[in-house]
Amino acid sequence: MKKMLLIAVAMIFVAGIASAASIVDSKHDMRTHITNETNTEVCVYCHTPHQQGTSQYPLWNHTLSAAGSYGAYTSPTLNGTISPVPNSNDGSVTSLCMSCHDGTVAVNALFNPPNVGTLGSAYTAALDGTGKIVSAANLGTDLRNDHPVNLDYQSSITNGDSGLNSAASVSSLLIGGQVTCASCHQVHDPAIVPFLRVTNTGSTLCLTCHIK
């Protein structure tokens, strides 16, 4: 009986962890930033199963930014090849992130509105009066002072960067061989703030790629 009780407690504990790591009610659940929201759909702010507005994948539903070029990080010690992020029409993962995080498009500006409930128009302090990000999550329209994205990882090694782990060892973090926002961030899992793939305690996240 005691063993069964322990198993039940363990299952509840695991379920609690799974729930805590859900996008539901996280900062990427846009309903939490809109105070008069009646929409009940969570995924709709980024995805739609039908009638996506463009050819963007994966079934992208959020209005794309028209901010123009975000520029690209440069450094005398950078050996890799970077493809500048022109704007959210280029199809890259980073561009999709920037469609909210450059602060020029409202978080609830969608191609296909939700089927259940309506989108609100009153926002928390994280957003301005038009629904655009104004908190620290607003990266602005200049990425030249941010960690390089759209970076060809292998080219850094090929061009002489000996301070990186092999591309094969971090392949699961690369998209098309490139470092993107999603290399460090897992947008659907808020368990490690701010949506990190692994903890950065002791620089664990940094040391996944960098040998220091």
* Mean pLDDT of successive 10-residue stretches along the chain, which has 212 residues: 38 38 94 94 93 78 87 90 70 86 96 91 96 96 92 94 96 93 96 96 97 92
Q: Map residue 209 onto helix, strand or coil.
A: helix
Q: Map residue 175 onto helix, strand or coil.
A: strand
Tell me what pLDDT residue 51 has: 77
Give the global pTM. 0.84
Residue-wise DSSP of 109-133: -BSS--SSS-----B-TTB-TTS-B
Distances from the Cα of 124 to the Cαs of 31, 51, 103, 108, in angstroms? 10, 29, 15, 13
* CB burial of residue 146 (10 Å; 0-12, 13-18, 19+): middle
